[in-house]
Structure 1
């Protein structure tokens, strides 16, 4: 009888030891945030891939040396709580974009949204409410869906989309996207848009949905799954040829950078055209609901003269102001307000003599595509302050009595 009990006893002892080990590791990672460990704030979303888990506080350990604690409101966005009913006399501004709008790298009060809201309220003498609908990795596909599903019910007076060419163009189509766990639009020959959300039928999405409750409760499980996602994206970047050594004179500027040269890649030309089509759809949808529409082009690394020169050394036809200029023309044709950030960032960086972005990729040793084709990190506090000032200057005329009339 004793020998029959021993295997069971051994299994129980092993399970107990593993449980103690897991609990110890969980406590260590939860308290130290080593390797960027933190509880997951994501939740699966069958329409847009994923969103922020609502009604909780989280910790973002990257970029800002002190780390940032942030809250997600009951609607699933990084902001204070909102009322669906718009208060009388309030001018509502709904802001869409990727991680630059989500802005987990700075405290809420130092984001461009909070700063612009405060300055505009003081200058206009009325209540201005900025609403943050940003989420990491958004493209125009998700933004159009969020606009119609989440934003319009709040009756915004102005919808702003922050455009980031580095991600928005490549991630818009399956051949160039770093993740396929997302919706994709296709423009049909008759000009209509066809939405593909087949990702939510895949085994990977179902597994992600199953794992999500464990990720939200365990820092260790969240860390393991996050590292796996990074591994998958790096592998996809390698397959698309976007991860490797710096470009040199024997190579060419690729991906979104090629659009700013005389030899653009055909797939990115197609993606960029679709991106504009989706922006037009967002503008028309906003205007149909009595909201103005503004397009903001986020600065690219080439706002720095030394980076622009680096790109020109590879392809002399590279134009560092291409997206600001091209999108300005596009916005004018589509009756959109437009704000380009390339030149303001260039001037401010030169005046301050210091960067307007965090230095993150350098710190963790990621090279290749991320080194020459993307920023070293998101906007720091100086960057957010500059964006706020630019928005105030652009929006304030809309608040004048004659403009409101």
Structure 2
């Protein structure tokens, strides 16, 4: 390098011994970095898939129903119990199934919220799978020449209105012989519209008059889709459905947000039980609410049952007990149970009240974690008990 070359480099701000990289070298470096990044993402996604991390996202926005399950996604749930399964192509927490009902099959479709969805136990251990097994075992022993198939249409936090709408747009296509709607204790609390940024509370409403005519209203759903939270959820819909890395990041962000709201959570690895009744409406308030708005529930059940009958399906109501998260005490709403029995009698449908039966069976209103998990859902033991009770009731129908 000559003195003249050194002077020229100094004039343009380069050290004498530094050689300017050619554009092709820069492009090669950028391309190499991109390949490494893609490779790292692929390795992380594969690792998270193998160990079942980042799989907890399982619902997506739906303009008609408010939200729905993510069809085709594998879900791994560890927050409460453990469950790992793939949502089928029809957005059901169910094995793949054909819409066409096979010959010699009695098909049962069960609708409801997370108590039916059953993310907290293995699919083979939930009460729907056990119901199918128990009925088929008994049919086999009795020499009956048909089988039972039970389909799971449950979705977390669905209201009766959402279950009815889900039946109309999806369930009816499977031509069930019997439709069972799980109307758990405090089902009435999901009747009214709610403006929220939480997708699990975004619901359309079926308003009713006293002649049992219902009107679909999606105001809250449209407001959510137009909100910042809704637009953000839609923009990352593909990532929520397909990326485990995104699931991990979302979970960390959620936990960090909870920590900002309550720094004491950093000192505890488990949720602390709240005093019984803290922050909840009084029994009198809940009773008055139930009596005031029951006409809406009555109309929704009436239309649900009528739609099923017009499609050639029987309709039945299952009443299950409920425990609030971290409470370990059964929730009471006797007014709701009485009104449900009255409505069912009026519209001529059967009610299996497992809330009352469970209280007689245990002789207690508290649970030590044997039958209900910390989040208030059924354990495998409770799923087995529900399946036994429901199987006995359904078999009476089959024997007629």
CA RMSD of aligned residues (A): 4.0
1:346 aligned onto 2:359: yes
1:333 aligned onto 2:346: yes
Task: Indicate the residue corresponding to 1:205 in structure 2.
Answer: 230
From 138, 146, 149, give the equivalent of 2:158: 138
Which whole-Å deviations, capped at 9, do the CAs of 1:336-364 have from their partners, x for residues lacking one? 1111112332344459x964434334xxx
Q: Which runs of 5+ in 2 are unaligned?
A: 1-11, 13-19, 261-272
Task: Indicate the residue corresponding to 1:315 in structure 2.
Answer: none
Which whole-Å deviations, capped at 9, do the CAs of 1:262-299 have from their partners, x for residues lacking one? 45465554444322321111011111112111111110
From 160, 174, 184, give the equivalent of 1:164: 184
Task: Indicate the residue corresponding to 2:396 in structure 1.
Answer: 397
| Corresponding pairs, count | 355
1:301 aligned onto 2:323: yes
From the superposition, tell whether residues 191 and 293 of structure 1 become closer, same or farther in structure 2 (CA, over 3 Å): closer
Task: Indicate the residue corresponding to 1:113 in structure 2.
Answer: 128
From 178, 181, 197, give the equivalent of 2:202: 181
Give the secondary-structure state (helix, strand or coil) at the position aligned to 1:91: strand
CA drift of 1:17 comes to: 11
CA drift of 1:57 comes to: 2.8
Task: Indicate the residue corresponding to 1:246 in structure 2.
Answer: 275
Larger radius of gyration between Structure 1 and Structure 2: 2
Higher mean Cα deviation, 48-57 or 287-296?
Answer: 48-57
Higher mean Cα deviation, 71-80 or 43-52?
Answer: 43-52
The answer to whether the 8 A contact 2:372-2:382 is kept is no
Give the secondary-structure state (helix, strand or coil) at the position aligned to 1:115: helix
Task: Indicate the residue corresponding to 2:115 in structure 1.
Answer: 100
User: 2 CA distance for matches of 1:356 and 1:350?
Assistant: 14
User: 1 CA distance for matches of 2:151 and 2:398?
Assistant: 17
From 238, 246, 253, give the equivalent of 1:221: 246
TM-score by length of 1: 0.72
Task: Indicate the residue corresponding to 2:90 in structure 1.
Answer: 75
User: 1 CA distance for matches of 2:164 and 2:98?
Assistant: 22
TM-score by length of 2: 0.73
From the superposition, tell whether residues 219 and 262 of structure 1 become closer, same or farther in structure 2 (CA, over 3 Å): same
CA drift of 1:113 comes to: 1.0
Q: Which runs of 5+ in 1 are unaligned?
A: 236-243, 312-318, 362-374
User: 1 CA distance for matches of 2:188 and 2:33?
Assistant: 50
CA drift of 1:331 comes to: 1.2
From the superposition, tell whether residues 21 and 122 of structure 1 become closer, same or farther in structure 2 (CA, over 3 Å): closer
From 143, 148, 151, give the equivalent of 2:168: 148
Give the secondary-structure state (helix, strand or coil) at the position aligned to 2:236: helix
From the superposition, tell whether residues 107 and 299 of structure 1 become closer, same or farther in structure 2 (CA, over 3 Å): same
CA drift of 1:233 comes to: 11
From the superposition, tell whether residues 266 and 14 of structure 1 become closer, same or farther in structure 2 (CA, over 3 Å): farther
The answer to whether the 8 A contact 2:105-2:148 is kept is yes
From the superposition, tell whether residues 263 and 354 of structure 1 become closer, same or farther in structure 2 (CA, over 3 Å): closer
The answer to whether the 8 A contact 1:349-1:355 is kept is no
CA drift of 1:320 comes to: 5.9
User: 2 CA distance for matches of 1:190 and 1:293?
Assistant: 21
Task: Indicate the residue corresponding to 1:40 in structure 2.
Answer: 57
The answer to whether the 8 A contact 1:356-1:382 is kept is yes
User: 2 CA distance for matches of 1:150 and 1:252?
Assistant: 37
User: 1 CA distance for matches of 2:337 and 2:306?
Assistant: 21
The answer to whether the 8 A contact 2:110-2:181 is kept is yes
1:196 aligned onto 2:217: yes
Give the secondary-structure state (helix, strand or coil) at the position aligned to 1:169: helix
1:359 aligned onto 2:359: no
Which whole-Å deviations, capped at 9, do the CAs of 1:190-225 have from their partners, x for residues lacking one? 653221224244244333222111122323422444
Give the secondary-structure state (helix, strand or coil) at the position aligned to 2:170: helix
The answer to whether the 8 A contact 1:116-1:388 is kept is yes
Alignment of 1:6-85 (within 5 A): 37-38=54-55, 40-64=57-81, 67-85=82-100
User: 2 CA distance for matches of 1:27 and 1:154?
Assistant: 35
